[in-house]
Structure 1
Amino acid sequence: MHLRSLRSSARGARPRVLEVESVLVEQYGDLVRLAHLVLPAALGRHRRVVVAHSLVQRALTGARTVPGTTVPPPRTERPAAVPVEQALLVTVVRGALSYDRGPRRRLIPLLPRLPLVVGLSLFPRSGGADELALAQRLSEVTAAGRAAFLLRVLHSLSDDAVREVLAGAGVSRPDDALRAADGLAESAGPSAAGLLTSPEFNACALQASPTDLLRRRRRVRLGLAAGAVCAATGVTLAATLADGPAPSDGTPTSAVRAAYGPADLARTGATVWDNTSRVDFTAWPARGSRVRDEALLGRALAAWLRPARTGIRPALAPGTSAGAPVAAPRLLYAGDVDDTAVVVLYDGERIARYTEPAAGPARLSVARVDEADVTTAAAVALTASRGSERYLLAPWVAEAQTRDLLRPDVLARPLRVGGDGVTAPVPAVPAGGGCASRPVLQLRSSERIAEHHAFLLAGLGDLSPVHLTYTPLPGQGNPPRQPREATGSAALLAWAHQACGLTSLRGAGVRAVNAWDFAEQDLPDGGGQAVWTCARADSWRGPGDVTVGLRTSRDGQAEPVRTAGRARSTAACSRFGQHVVAATGWRSPKGNWFVLAAGSRAVTELRVTGDVSGARDGRTLALPAPGRPHVAVRARLASGQDLAGLDQPG
Structure 2
Amino acid sequence: MGVSERTATLDVEQAELALVEHYGRLVRLAYCVLEDGPRRAPAAHAVTCGALPRRCTSTAALPRPQAADEDPVYVWLRLRVLRAALARPRGPWLPRSLPRGGAPARAAYALRHLERMADPEIRTLLRAARVRDPDAALAGAVKAADAPGGPGAPAPAPGPVGEPCPLCGDGAGVQHALDTVRRRRQRRRAGAAALAALVCCGLLGVPGDTWGPDAAARPPLVRGTDAEQALDPGALVRAGAGAWRRASRTDFGAWPARGALTRDASLLRRALVTWARPRADVRVEAAPGTPEGPPPGPPQLLYAGRLAGAAVVLLYDGLRVARYTEPLDPDDGSAAAEAAEEGVSLELARTAGAATAESGALVVTRRGGKVRYLTAPWITRAARVDLLDPGDEAGRTLSRGADGVTGPVPLPVTLPQHCDTWPGLALRGSPGAARRLQLYTDLGELAPARLTDGAERTPATGTAARRRLARTACHLPAVLDRGVRAVNSWQFARQRLPDGDGEAAWVCTRAATWRGPGARVMTQFQPPAGAPGRPGAVTSRLEDSRVCGPHARAVLTGLLWRSTEGRWYVLAAGDEGVTRLRARGEGLLGGPAEAVGNTLAVRAGRQASARLSATRRNGAAPATSPAPVGPPD
TM-score bin (small chain): 0.5 to 0.7
Shift of 1:448: 2.0
For 1:362, the equivalent position in structure 2 comes to 344
For 2:457 and 2:88, how far apart are their aligned partners in 1? 46
For 1:622 and 1:129, how far apart are their aligned partners in 2? 48
Shift of 1:630: 2.5
Shift of 1:387: 1.1
For 2:303 and 2:204, how far apart are their aligned partners in 1? 41
User: Secondary structure of 2:606's match?
Assistant: coil
Deviation digits for residues 570-621 of structure 1 (CA, Å, limit 9, x no counterpart): 2211220122121111000011110001111121111122223321111111
User: Retained in 1: the 8 A contact 2:237–2:301?
Assistant: yes
Equivalent residue letter for 1:38: P
Equivalent residue letter for 2:448: P
Identity of aligned residues (%): 36
Equivalent residue letter for 1:558: G
For 1:189 and 1:634, how far apart are their aligned partners in 2? 31
Q: CA RMSD in A?
A: 4.0
Equivalent residue letter for 1:347: D
The 1:289–1:489 alpha-carbon spacing in structure 2 relative to 1, beyond 3 Å, is same
For 1:572 and 1:622, how far apart are their aligned partners in 2? 24
Shift of 1:483: 2.5
**1:519 lines up with 2:499 in the alignment:** no
Shift of 1:431: 3.8
The 1:637–1:384 alpha-carbon spacing in structure 2 relative to 1, beyond 3 Å, is same
**1:542 lines up with 2:502 in the alignment:** no
1:294 to 265, 285, 309: 265
User: Retained in 1: the 8 A contact 2:47–2:85?
Assistant: no
User: Secondary structure of 1:274's match?
Assistant: helix
For 1:44 and 1:126, how far apart are their aligned partners in 2? 19
**1:501 lines up with 2:475 in the alignment:** yes
Shift of 1:40: 7.3
TM-score normalized with structure 1 length: 0.65
For 2:196 and 2:247, how far apart are their aligned partners in 1? 39
For 1:165, the equivalent position in structure 2 comes to none
Shift of 1:403: 0.7
The 1:337–1:635 alpha-carbon spacing in structure 2 relative to 1, beyond 3 Å, is same
User: Retained in 1: the 8 A contact 2:510–2:520?
Assistant: yes
For 2:27, the equivalent position in structure 1 comes to none
For 2:386, the equivalent position in structure 1 comes to 404
The 1:29–1:576 alpha-carbon spacing in structure 2 relative to 1, beyond 3 Å, is closer
The 1:252–1:325 alpha-carbon spacing in structure 2 relative to 1, beyond 3 Å, is closer
The 1:432–1:46 alpha-carbon spacing in structure 2 relative to 1, beyond 3 Å, is farther
**1:637 lines up with 2:602 in the alignment:** no
User: Secondary structure of 1:639's match?
Assistant: helix
The 1:82–1:620 alpha-carbon spacing in structure 2 relative to 1, beyond 3 Å, is closer
Equivalent residue letter for 1:264: A
For 1:350 and 1:191, how far apart are their aligned partners in 2? 30
Shift of 1:372: 0.6
For 2:458, the equivalent position in structure 1 comes to 484
User: Retained in 2: the 8 A contact 1:401–1:413?
Assistant: yes
2:222 to 239, 251, 255: 255
**1:446 lines up with 2:430 in the alignment:** yes
The 1:364–1:251 alpha-carbon spacing in structure 2 relative to 1, beyond 3 Å, is closer
User: Secondary structure of 1:376's match?
Assistant: helix
Equivalent residue letter for 2:424: V
User: Secondary structure of 2:266's match?
Assistant: helix
The 1:513–1:507 alpha-carbon spacing in structure 2 relative to 1, beyond 3 Å, is same
The 1:461–1:195 alpha-carbon spacing in structure 2 relative to 1, beyond 3 Å, is same
For 1:437, the equivalent position in structure 2 comes to 421
For 1:197 and 1:37, how far apart are their aligned partners in 2? 9
User: Retained in 2: the 8 A contact 1:534–1:573?
Assistant: yes
User: Retained in 1: the 8 A contact 2:375–2:404?
Assistant: yes
Q: How many residues align?
A: 473
* Structure showing greater Rg: 1
The 1:601–1:439 alpha-carbon spacing in structure 2 relative to 1, beyond 3 Å, is same
1:620 to 571, 581, 599: 599
User: Secondary structure of 1:504's match?
Assistant: helix
For 1:605 and 1:502, how far apart are their aligned partners in 2? 32
For 2:301, the equivalent position in structure 1 comes to 331
User: Secondary structure of 2:473's match?
Assistant: helix
For 1:377, the equivalent position in structure 2 comes to 359
For 1:303 and 1:237, how far apart are their aligned partners in 2? 19
For 1:197 and 1:555, how far apart are their aligned partners in 2? 47
1:588 to 563, 570, 578: 563
Mapping of residues 83-122 of structure 1, within 5 Å: none
Shift of 1:381: 0.5
User: Retained in 2: the 8 A contact 1:286–1:331?
Assistant: yes
1:567 to 539, 542, 565: 542
List alignment gaps of at least 5 residues for structure 2.
1-31, 53-77, 99-109, 117-154, 169-188, 206-214, 329-339
Shift of 1:302: 0.8
For 2:292 and 2:191, how far apart are their aligned partners in 1? 27
Shift of 1:646: 4.2
The 1:383–1:42 alpha-carbon spacing in structure 2 relative to 1, beyond 3 Å, is farther
